[in-house]
Amino acid sequence: MSRGTNGATGVRPIAHHSLVDRVTDELHRAILNGDLAPGSTVSIVDLCNRFDISHIPVREALRRLESEGVISLRPGRSALVATVTSAELTNIYALRKLVEGDLCMRAGKSISAERLAAAEEALAEYIGIEREPAALAAKHHAFHEAMLADEIGPADANVLRLLWKASDRYLHLLMDDLDHQPKTQQGRIDEHRELLELAREGKVEELRDRWVAHLESTETALLQALATREAAAAV
């Protein structure tokens, strides 16, 4: 076997990976903003025609999204976009409270000035950006990640990525139904400021309790928005 052949063993072309990444990103965007509606059937043939590509990168992209829980591959040539339900939303936040509550307890015991500065910067950007779902989610996660970074291992990172993506889907789909009153928005900002201050003061147990309460507040808002959406659809 030649050196060139041996060196390439097990390595897929970079272009293929890049194409799969682009298809995954586009499908994820369409699912987040509702272009591919919850509960709808997606034809693999139609996707191949739309993207003007073969079925291989499309199937690989759908497999990735299936691992994130937003797509279910079906026998044959189709996939089903996962529905959004109050039970699933509650499950997502139950897991987030367990995982993030434990991480913030550990991180809060020795959080550095550098981490606090990064969290403060992320919070300032979160406050200043346009109230658009993708941008809000990115800055929101940047704040949380900065606070927890010293305790996030590889397994934690994978779990958080899945949970944050799952909760982002609800944020995107329900953004129009959330309470956008200035008082409500200020309350959410104040919750983050309180977390930052508790971490700065080293009040670890209070930090954990307020972190969980912050997640519960977000969960309640999303559940109310989902109920509003379902009530409107039933009329």
Q: For residue 167, how far is the Cα from the chain centroid?
A: 5
Q: Decide whether 9-81 matches 86-234 in CATH topology.
A: no
Contact 58, 48 (CB under 8 A): yes
Phi, psi of 202, rounded to the nearest 5 degrees: 75, 25
235 residues of the chain, pLDDT tens digit each: 444 444 445 555 555 568 999 999 999 888 888 889 999 999 999 999 999 999 999 999 999 999 888 999 998 889 999 999 999 999 999 999 999 999 999 999 999 999 999 999 999 998 887 667 777 888 889 999 999 999 999 999 999 999 998 998 998 889 888 888 888 888 989 999 999 999 999 999 999 999 999 999 999 999 999 999 888 888 7
User: With left for phi above 0 and alpha for psi between -120 and 50, is residue 79 left, alpha or beta?
Assistant: beta
Q: What angle do CA 140, 142, 148 make, to 5 degrees?
A: 110
What would the CATH number be for the domain defined by 86-234?
Answer: 1.20.120.530
The domain 9-81: what is its CATH number?
Answer: 1.10.10.10
Give the start-to-end residue ranges of the domains of the chain: 9-81, 86-234
Token code pair at residue 231:
């009530």
On the CB side of 188, how many CA atoms lie within 13 Å of its CA?
A: 22
